[in-house]
Each structure stands twice: as C-alpha cells, then as structure tokens.
C-alpha cells in the first residue's frame, strides 16, 4: 500500500459533495432506472411516489460508492499516481482528497451518511411495497462498497467490470420494475437491461485506458492493466457488440420492435471502438472515445425506453 500525504484543504465541503455526485457518472444508474420504468409503464400506471423513493435510494448509493472508493484509491496511491497528462473528465477518480477538496474523514462521513440514507430508502420500499426488494438492495449496497473496499476489492482484481454490468443493468432496471409492478421483470427487460449493463461496463473499460499506468503502479488490476491496451480495445468491441446485439434480439423475447430505437447508440459505440483501437495510448485522444461510449449507452437506454413505452 502506498503511503499518501494528506493535502491541505482549500474548498468548502459542498464542493466535494458536488464532485462525488458527478452527473456524468450518475447517468449510468439514471439510464437503467429509465429502462426499468418504461418497462413497468407498459403494464400499468407508474407510482411516482415510489419511483421518487427508488431514485433517491440509488442516488445515495452512487454518492456513497464514490466517496468510499475515493478513500480506498487515495490510500492505495491509485489517484495520486495519475499523471497530469493522463487526467480526463471521465476518469482518474473524483480527486476530492488528492486535490484537497475534502479530508479523508470528511469523505468517510459523506460515505456513511449516504449509505445510511440509501438503506433507509430501501427499507421504506421493503416495508411499504415488496419484501423481495430487500435481496436486491443488499446486493446493490454490497457491490457498491466492495467494488473498492476489502476484502473483495472487485475493481482491484479485474472483477469491477462484471460488477458494473450487473449493477447498472439487470439489478437497477429489474429492481425498479419490481417496485412498480410487484412482479419479476419480463424476459424483454432482462435482455435489454443486460445489454445496457454491457454497454456501461464498456464505458468503464474506456475510462480505464488513461488510468492504466497509475492503476498498475498501485496494484489495481483492472482489465486494461491485465490485458494491455490493444487487447482491451478488442474486448471493448466485443462488449459493444453484445450490448447492441441484445437490443437487436429483444423482440424475440417479447419487446416491441420499437425497442430497436436503442440502436441509435450504435454509431457512437463503433466510433469509440475505432478510436481506442487506433489511439488507445494517447489520453487526449481517448477522451473522445469515453464521451462516445457514454453517449452510446445513454442513447441505447433512451431509445429502448421510448420503444417500450410506445410499443
């Protein structure tokens, strides 16, 4: 473990909270929420009150995960080791501790408060809506915390991508459906949400390219570190194909053909793959691939959700 020097604080605590609630990152959970809500709306009216509680719970999990992850990455040296030329708007962590925006203790307080708030929201749903949500909630909290934290340290062992694919795919989307309909999701939503999870994990993979040197130096064995950038770019292409392939096949599982509107994100995924394949070593060129991968999964979720609602 790398011993890190704690920087002097020179921002308000709210600046740190704003960084930890970065809208670019919460787009993943918002996309899954949208997909699950659209599927639920096919079979009846939405309960907006319970939807608000669901959104709040997932938002608090997001902020808590970011905060607890910042502490682990700071102590391991992963965030400190990112060179200035390798920083991008999408990767390198929130850097609230490294940049002196928050202290380690302050970040831990934010994490604890937000995990507690997420648990309260989950218990409200369990007691007032459906007890089966408890298992999904516990799984979500565990994945969020142990994504960085010991003993599992999923992101440090090359398992973070799988955790992200499951959490931001079937877990959130099907959980949202369960809260609304009081029933397990139909096959169409399972297929579409699995495709979305694949595309979100591809976005994570793109974000690992600029951090590869720092991650390797700090013992964070992401897929890009394990595979190298050239092979990781090929894996990125395969995952994109799986994600959009799920959209293409969704009507076989009962989705309306309008769900093919989700293929609107395909050109962005293809462009991101081309860029990572050709210039994955150059961070300033990878930034566009990160943005395109983000646009790809957002458009997939938006298009498929519109297709589900209209279909």
Taking residues 232-249, report their average pLDDT: 98
pLDDT digits (tens, 9 = 90+) for 21-73: 877 768 999 999 999 999 999 999 999 999 999 999 999 999 999 999 999 99
Report the DSSP beta bridge partners of residue 88.
91
Kindly indicate the confidence band of residue 1, based on its pLDDT and cuts at 50, 70 and 90. Answer: very low
Calculate the CA 126 to chain-centre distance.
Answer: 24
Q: Which two tokens stand for residue 291?
A: 């943005």
pLDDT, one tens digit per residue, over 288-309 is 999 999 999 999 999 999 999 9
State whether residue 190 is helix, strand or coil: helix
Residue 254, SS3 per DSSP: coil
Specify the residue for token string 């050109």.
267
Q: What is the mean pLDDT of the chain?
A: 93
- Predicted model pTM: 0.93
The rounded distance, in Å, linking the Cα atoms of 273 and 131 is 42
pLDDT for residue 3: 43
CATH number corresponding to 13-310: 1.10.600
Written as six digits, the tokens of 2 are 């790398």
The domain segmentation of the chain, as residue ranges, is 13-310
Closest CA to 228 of 252, 246, 205: 205
For residues 232 and 226, what is the distance between their CA atoms, to the nearest angstrom?
A: 9
pLDDT in tens, 135-191: 999 999 999 999 999 999 999 999 999 999 999 999 999 999 999 999 999 999 999
Structure-token match 């298009």, residue found: 303
């Amino acid at each position: 473990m790398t011993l890190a020097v704690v920087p002097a604080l020179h921002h308000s605590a709210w600046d740190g909270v704003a960084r930890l609630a970065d809208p670019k990152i919460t787009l993943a959970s918002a996309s899954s929420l949208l997909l699950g809500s659209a599927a639920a709306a096919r079979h009846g009216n939405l309960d907006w009150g319970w939807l608000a509680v669901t959104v709040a719970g997932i938002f608090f999990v997001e902020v808590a995960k970011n905060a607890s992850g910042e502490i682990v990455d700071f102590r391991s040296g992963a965030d400190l080791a990112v060179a200035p030329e390798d920083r991008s708007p999408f990767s390198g962590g929130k850097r609230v501790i490294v940049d002196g925006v928050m202290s380690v203790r302050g970040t831990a307080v934010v994490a604890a408060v937000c995990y507690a708030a997420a648990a309260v929201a989950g218990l409200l749903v369990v007691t007032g809506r459906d007890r089966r949500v408890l298992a999904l909630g516990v799984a979500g909290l565990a994945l969020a915390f142990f994504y960085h934290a010991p003993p599992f340290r999923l992101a440090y062992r090359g398992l973070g991508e799988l955790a992200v694919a499951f959490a931001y795919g079937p877990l959130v989307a099907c959980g949202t459906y369960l809260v609304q309909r009081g029933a397990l999701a139909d096959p169409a939503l399972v297929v579409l949400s699995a495709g979305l999870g694949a595309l979100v994990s591809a976005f994570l993979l793109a974000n690992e390219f600029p951090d590869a040197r720092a991650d390797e130096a700090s013992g964070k064995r992401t897929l890009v570190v394990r595979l190298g950038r050239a092979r990781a770019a090929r894996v990125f292409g395969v995952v994109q194909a799986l994600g959009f392939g799920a959209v293409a096949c969704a009507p076989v599982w009962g989705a309306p053909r309008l769900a093919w509107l989700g293929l609107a994100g395909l050109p962005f995924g293809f462009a991101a793959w081309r860029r990572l394949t050709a210039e994955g070593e150059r961070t300033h060129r990878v930034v566009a691939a990160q943005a395109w991968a983000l646009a790809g999964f957002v458009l997939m979720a938006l298009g498929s959700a519109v297709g589900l609602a209209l279909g």
